[in-house]
Chains A and B, each alone.
Chain A
Amino acid sequence: GENVEQHPSTLSVQEGDSAVIKCTYSDSASNYFPWYKQELGKGPQLIIDIRSNVGEKKDQRIAVTLNKTAKHFSLHITETQPEDSAVYFCAASLGGGGFKTIFGAGTRLFVKA
């Protein structure tokens, strides 16, 4: 079945710096790749997603890139702020007849003021 690996598990950056989180997936049939932000005591919140027919998507300070050949995708946060501190999860989803969304193990991001 699908397996999603996420790195790093912990990331500490200085306010204003960029943060990059990387994920790889195993099933080439996956066609939807969402990213979630989870703050302490809350449910995951969808922050950006990308579908397999595009290679890059940007929303203000957040961007996601997808390399289908290598089966990896990345989250880029620029100009980080303390409120970006949270746990970030990548996920991969299979389409076309069967449902599965598999999540990575998460990256705990600390943004130091």
Chain B
Amino acid sequence: GAGVSQTPSNKVTEKGKYVELRCDPISGHTALYWYRQSLGQGPEFLIYFQGTGAADDSGLPNDRFFAVRPEGSVSTLKIQRTERGDSAVYLCASSLLDGGAAGELFFGEGSRLTVL
């Protein structure tokens, strides 16, 4: 498809387990973003890639969270030793323009993570 694709759409895991969430952006979009959205709140910034490098990772809550984008396209958000407080919808977005311009963000439908 032409949009941002996120997998899995739903993930249920147990406390302490490792989780990977995948994002496939729109072809040709150089900027990729990860956000986290808790119930009743707006998306919260986690990390932003320009190409292969993380341009801004200031939103990652702690060192259990890590994201990669090795070839400048698909990105994986990795969460180690999951905690119940990590339960949320993880949103990925991509953009044709970099952070300095008013580029529109194109969002995927999100990966809902539930940590039991």
Question: Do A and B make up one complex?
Answer: no
Please report A residues at the B interface, Cβ cutoff 8 Å.
Answer: none
